[in-house]
Chain A
Amino acid sequence: NAGVTQTPKFRILKIGQSMTLQCAQDMNHNYMYWYRQDPGMGLKLIYYSVGAGITDKGEVPNGYNVSRSTTEDFPLRLELAAPSQTSVYFCASSYSLSGRNTEAFFGQGTRLTVV
Chain B
Amino acid sequence: TQLLEQSPQFLSIQEGENLTVYCNSSSVFSSLQWYRQEPGEGPVLLVTVVTGGEVKKLKRLTFQFGDARKDSSLHITAAQPGDTGLYLCAGGGGSNYKLTFGKGTLLTVNP
A interface with B by C-beta (< 8 Å): 4, 31, 33, 35, 40-45, 48, 50, 56, 58-59, 90, 92, 94, 96, 99-104, 106-109
Tell me which of A40, A44, A108 contacts B42 (CB under 8 A).
A108
- Complex contact B43–A43 (CB within 8 A): yes
- Complex contact A102–B48 (CB within 8 A): yes
- Complex contact A99–B97 (CB within 8 A): yes
What 0/1 pattern do residues 33 to 75 of B give for CB contact below 8 A with A?
1010000111111001010000000000000000000000000
- Complex contact A48–B98 (CB within 8 A): yes
- Complex contact A90–B42 (CB within 8 A): yes
- Complex contact A99–B42 (CB within 8 A): no
Cβ of A44 to closest chain B Cβ, rounded Å = 8
Q: Is the interface of A mostly helix, strand, loop or mixed?
A: strand
What 0/1 pattern do residues 79 to 105 of B give for CB contact below 8 A with A?
000000010101011001111111110
Instruction: Determine the distance from Cα of A102 to Cα of B93 in the docked complex, in whole angstroms.
Output: 12
Interface size on B, residues (CB 8 A): 29
Cβ of B27 within 8 Å of any chain A Cβ, yes or no, is no
A-B contact pairs, 11 of them (CB 8 A): A42-B6, A42-B102, A43-B43, A45-B98, A45-B100, A50-B98, A56-B96, A56-B98, A58-B98, A100-B50, A103-B33
List B contacts of A99 (CB < 8 A).
30, 92-93, 97
- Complex contact A35–B101 (CB within 8 A): yes
Given A96-B92, A103-B48, A104-B45, check contact A42 B103 (CB 8 Å): yes
Q: Which residue of chain A has its CB nearest to the CB of B43?
A: A106
List A contacts of B86 (CB < 8 A).
42
Q: Which residue of chain A has its CB nearest to the CB of B90?
A: A104
- Complex contact A106–B104 (CB within 8 A): no
List B contacts of A109 (CB < 8 A).
40-42
Q: Which residue of chain B has its CB nearest to the CB of A41?
A: B103
Instruction: Determine the distance from Cα of A40 to Cα of B1 in the docked complex, in whole angstroms.
Output: 22
